């Protein structure tokens, strides 16, 4: 078990080094990518800053609380972008061009190979910016107990599992339909659910976003752990949910692979 873990960590270190060299090779491109991501994150902040000029509360959060939510959502998004996004973005091409064949023959988990080969180095500055932004936003919360940040060690990996499984499941569906590039864009639309506070969703939909398509676990619930009294039920759910999601993904990946016909040979 530990040997296996060390093997994957070693592989990941090699992927990281290769990505670092590749990304820093074109420095202007790298700087522009960082600028582009900063614009994207800036727009998410701007949305709420502009709306709060005209209202004092959205859902049940004030502007100060909403800033915590937005920075936390962007922080989690940065981690996702660093670890997986470049791989998922080229997933359809890998399938169509037959590069998936090569990955399937390697003595390593194929889901790991297809999702982790490229690390997005240009998002590392964003991780620092959004992390600093989160600390800044929390400072504005009266009587905030900094010990609450420890909850994020449980809740952020849990939220990341939602993003990982959601994106990989959508991409895997592209294997069944020989061409489904636009499913990627559906992902960007669905992911907006996670970039909005859960309080704006009412009744049945809120339950769906907590337990079926659990995008509320990405940033909304972690924000509530930081700002509100702890709800024990959500701790249990944050522990169980990733296991359920990854089990489902494992099954679904194998299911989709049945439809895969090699493109390169």
Partner 1 sequence: MKKLFIAFWRRNLAFSELAIVSNLEYRFNFFIDAFVQPLITVGIELLMWFAIFETANAVQIGGFGRDNYLAYGVWAPFLGRIAVSWMYESMMVEEVASGSINVILTRPISFYEYYLSQLMGYKVTTTLISMIAPLAVSLFFDLPVHYSRLPMAIALVFYYLFLVHTLSFVISTFAFYMTRVRSLTLVKNLTLWLLAGELVPIDLMPPAIAKILLLSPFPAGVYTPVAYITGRADSDLVLQSFISVTISMVVAVIIGAVLWRKGLQSYTGTGA
Nearer to partner 1, 6 or 39 (CB): 39
Q: Residue 207, interface with partner 1 (CB under 8 A)?
A: no
Q: Which of 156, 149, 137 is nearest to 63 (CA)?
A: 137
Give the total residue count for the chain.
265
As a whole number of angstroms, the distance between CA 113 and CA 171 comes to: 14
The contact mask relative to partner 1 for 155-194 (x = CB under 8 A, - = no) is: ----------------------xxxxxxx-xx--xx-xx-
Asked if residue 264 lies in contact with residue 98, where contact means CB atoms within 8 angstroms, the answer is yes
Q: Residue 201, interface with partner 1 (CB under 8 A)?
A: yes
As a whole number of angstroms, the distance between CA 27 and CA 41 comes to: 21
Smallest separation (angstroms) from partner 1 to the CB of 153: 30
Q: Residue 227, interface with partner 1 (CB under 8 A)?
A: no
Please identify which residue in 1, 5, 50, 232 interacts with partner 1, judged by CB under 8 A: 50
As a whole number of angstroms, the distance between CA 97 and CA 263 comes to: 6
Smallest separation (angstroms) from partner 1 to the CB of 108: 28
Smallest separation (angstroms) from partner 1 to the CB of 31: 8
Q: Residue 29, interface with partner 1 (CB under 8 A)?
A: yes
β-bridge mates for residue 58, sequence order: 61
Q: Which of 252, 245, 254 is nearest to 213 (CA)?
A: 245
Q: With CB under 8 A as the contact rule, which of the stretches 46-54, 67-75, 94-102, 226-234 interacts with partner 1?
A: 46-54
Smallest separation (angstroms) from partner 1 to the CB of 201: 6
**Which two three-digit tokens encode residue 58?**
């959205």
Asked if residue 74 lies in contact with residue 212, where contact means CB atoms within 8 angstroms, the answer is no
Asked if residue 23 lies in contact with residue 122, where contact means CB atoms within 8 angstroms, the answer is yes
Residues that bind partner 1 (CB under 8 A): 26, 28-30, 32-33, 35-36, 39-40, 42-43, 46-47, 50-51, 53-60, 177-183, 185-186, 189-190, 192-193, 196, 199-201, 205
């Amino acid at each position: 078990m530990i040997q296996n873990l060390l093997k994957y960590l070693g592989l990941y270190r090699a992927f990281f080094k290769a990505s670092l060299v590749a990304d820093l090779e074109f420095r202007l491109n790298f700087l522009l990518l960082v600028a582009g991501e900063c614009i994207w994150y800036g727009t998410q902040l701007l949305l709420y800053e502009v709306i709060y000029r005209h209202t004092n509360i959205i859902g049940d959060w004030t502007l100060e609380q909403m800033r915590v939510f937005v920075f936390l959502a962007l922080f989690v998004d940065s981690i996702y972008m660093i670890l997986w996004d470049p791989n998922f973005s080229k997933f359809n091409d890998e399938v169509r061009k037959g590069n998936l064949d090569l990955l399937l023959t390697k003595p390593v988990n194929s889901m790991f190979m297809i999702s982790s080969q490229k690390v997005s180095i240009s998002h590392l500055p964003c991780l620092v910016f959004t992390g600093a932004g989160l600390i800044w936003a929390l400072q504005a919360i009266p009587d905030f107990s900094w010990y609450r940040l420890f909850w994020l060690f449980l809740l952020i990996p849990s939220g990341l599992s939602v993003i990982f499984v959601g994106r990989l499941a959508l991409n895997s569906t592209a294997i069944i339909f020989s061409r489904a590039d636009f499913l990627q864009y559906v992902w960007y639309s669905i992911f907006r659910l996670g970039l909005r506070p859960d309080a704006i969703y009412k009744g049945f939909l809120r339950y769906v976003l907590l337990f079926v398509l659990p995008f509320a676990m990405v940033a909304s619930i972690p924000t509530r752990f930081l700002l509100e009294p702890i709800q024990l039920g959500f701790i249990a759910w944050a522990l169980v949910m990733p296991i359920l999601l990854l089990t489902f993904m494992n099954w679904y990946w194998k299911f989709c692979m049945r439809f895969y016909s090699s493109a390169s040979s």
